Amino acid sequence: MATLQDMGITQNQLDSHWMAYTGNRQFKQDPRMICQAKGKYYFDADGRKIFDGLSGLWTCGLGHGRQEIVDAIAQQASQLDYSPAFQFGHPKSFQLAERITEFMPEGLNRVFFTGSGSESADTSLKIARAYWRKKGLASKTKLIGRGKGYHGVNFGGISVGGIGPNRAIFGTGVDSAHMRHTVLPENAFTKGQPSQGAELANDLIDLIAMHDASNIAAVIVEPMAGSAGVIPPPVGYLKLLREICDQHQILLIFDEVICAFGRLGYKTGAEACGVTPDIINMAKQLTNGVVPMGAVACKQEIYDTFMDEGGPNYMLELPHGYTYSAHPIACAAALASLDLLEKEHMFEQVREMSPILEHAAHQLGQLDLVSDVRNMGLAAGLSLVHAPGESALNPFLVAQQMWQKGYYVRYGADTIQIAPPFNVSAAEIDSLFNALGDSINQLSGQA
């Protein structure tokens, strides 16, 4: 096995990096380095091939090392490597903004660029508050999220988010309230969108009764919640949320950082679910994960509300943005990625492979230590029995076992998460889930 020295890393270098979303102490005892990626595979320091069962972090649906993206980045870096804001623009960002609107539901035709999913989440929440203020309704500031929701790690995102550990140690957040999540015991092992639970959207009515709509700016939900373990929305749930938001003048934000650009077999989760929000957040698949970039698309009426201001026309309509908003290299990567998604009919491929993934995932529902299986599009989440006791199974250990078998999957809370590249084959799906079944059996001592 390759040593640190073989990888050209010193112990001090290893210690210098405070790694993100990683148990640093564990990692540094047993460093698992990814050294190369091509197509559907990663390669470790020994050159061992590892199937990418999560498309990076839900990012690389087109596979790794796509030459078209590499070329677009190289060309852009040599032509224009950086471009400032403050009354300057560059052509690619305008081309990309329009291109993105071709993927968005009708009417979401104004695009603000960010550098990540977390920045998209906080940007959308700030736009919502500023929008109501502009309309003379400055008291509409409260933000509504949901249990198990994940909207990144900035203060807005962790405030509306519903994953306790991401929030608990960081002190007071932004004024927010939460609806319940939609994982119901009666829906366990449902294939695709569950039939029970649409009425959970009425939690919003309870929150309106408690806080008053005159104080509420927006509701933010993931159409399919990915990070908490692939939670598809109950049939009718998002439509009911939309109706309640309309009745009470509350903006509806879909956080589509995972869903947008094909994971559910459609351009957006909104399209997959047949519900149009006021704002859509995106990142990840936008550039195929190759360069960090996010974006927020909103209805034209929201944009126009900011544009009809009197005063000097050089005044910032929205004093918000990032040094890397609309970065030229990210724009070039995104334009190349979006072209590939269409040229290679990726959404159709996802729709074709989704039932095969569904079947393979639910086969594992028969295992004693699997307490739920959920799926939507080309994504599946398996909950493992996690009650304290001898029968509990730690998903971290399962993911580690999978790595040893040559498969990368993600663990999170009590779940294993799977989201293979869009052009995955039936045979690859079968072998991945066979390996997962074997890993679970081995760890539960049944093999």
Residues that bind ligand PMP in the complex, under the rule CB under 6 A = 116-118, 121, 150-152, 222, 226-227, 255, 257-258, 283
Toward ligand PMP, which CB reaches closer, 226 or 421?
A: 226
Toward ligand PMP, which CB reaches closer, 231 or 393?
A: 231
What SS3 state is found at 437?
helix
End-to-end CA distance of the chain: 26
Q: How far is CA 360 from the centre of its chain?
A: 23
d(CA 121, CA 295): 9
Give the pair of three-digit tokens for residue 227. 């990070």
DSSP string, 333-401: HHHHHHHHHHHTTHHHHHHHHHHHHHHHHHHGGGSTTEEEEEEETTEEEEEE--SSSTT---HHHHHHH
Toward ligand PMP, which CB reaches closer, 230 or 369?
A: 230
Closest CA to 268 of 249, 255, 252: 255
Q: How far is the CB of 291 from ligand PMP (least distance, A)?
A: 12
What SS3 state is found at 284?
helix
Closest CA to 48 of 59, 37, 39, 56: 37
Name the residue type at position 403.
Answer: W
d(CA 134, CA 116): 26
Q: How far is the CB of 437 from ligand PMP (least distance, A)?
A: 26
Toward ligand PMP, which CB reaches closer, 221 or 398?
A: 221
Q: Where are the alpha helices (DSSP H) in 102-198?
A: 117-134, 155-160
Toward ligand PMP, which CB reaches closer, 260 or 364?
A: 260
Q: How far is the CB of 14 from ligand PMP (least distance, A)?
A: 23
Toward ligand PMP, which CB reaches closer, 119 or 203?
A: 119
Toward ligand PMP, which CB reaches closer, 283 or 361?
A: 283
Query: Contact at 8 Å (CB) between 369 and 382?
Result: no
Q: How far is the CB of 344 from ligand PMP (least distance, A)?
A: 24
Residue that the structure tokens 């603000």 belong to:
112
d(CA 256, CA 272): 12
**Crossing angle (nearest 10°) for helices 328-343 and 346-363:** 80
Toward ligand PMP, which CB reaches closer, 152 or 360?
A: 152
Q: How far is the CB of 120 from ligand PMP (least distance, A)?
A: 7
User: Beta strand pairing status for 279-282 and 251-255?
Assistant: parallel
Residue that the structure tokens 């005159």 belong to:
214
Q: How far is the CB of 281 from ligand PMP (least distance, A)?
A: 7
Name the residue type at position 44.
Answer: D
- Quote the Cα angle for 293-56-223, to 5°: 70
Q: How far is the CB of 330 from ligand PMP (least distance, A)?
A: 12
Beta bridge partner(s), residue 179: 146
Q: How far is the CB of 33 from ligand PMP (least distance, A)?
A: 21
Q: How far is the CB of 157 from ligand PMP (least distance, A)?
A: 6
User: What sign does the CA torsion over 431, 432, 435, 440 have?
Assistant: negative
Q: How far is the CB of 150 from ligand PMP (least distance, A)?
A: 5
Toward ligand PMP, which CB reaches closer, 222 or 358?
A: 222
The number of residues making up the chain comes to 447
Toward ligand PMP, which CB reaches closer, 227 or 354?
A: 227
Rounded to whole angstroms, the maximal C-alpha distance in the chain is 73
Q: Which residue is nearest to ligand PMP (CB)?
A: 117
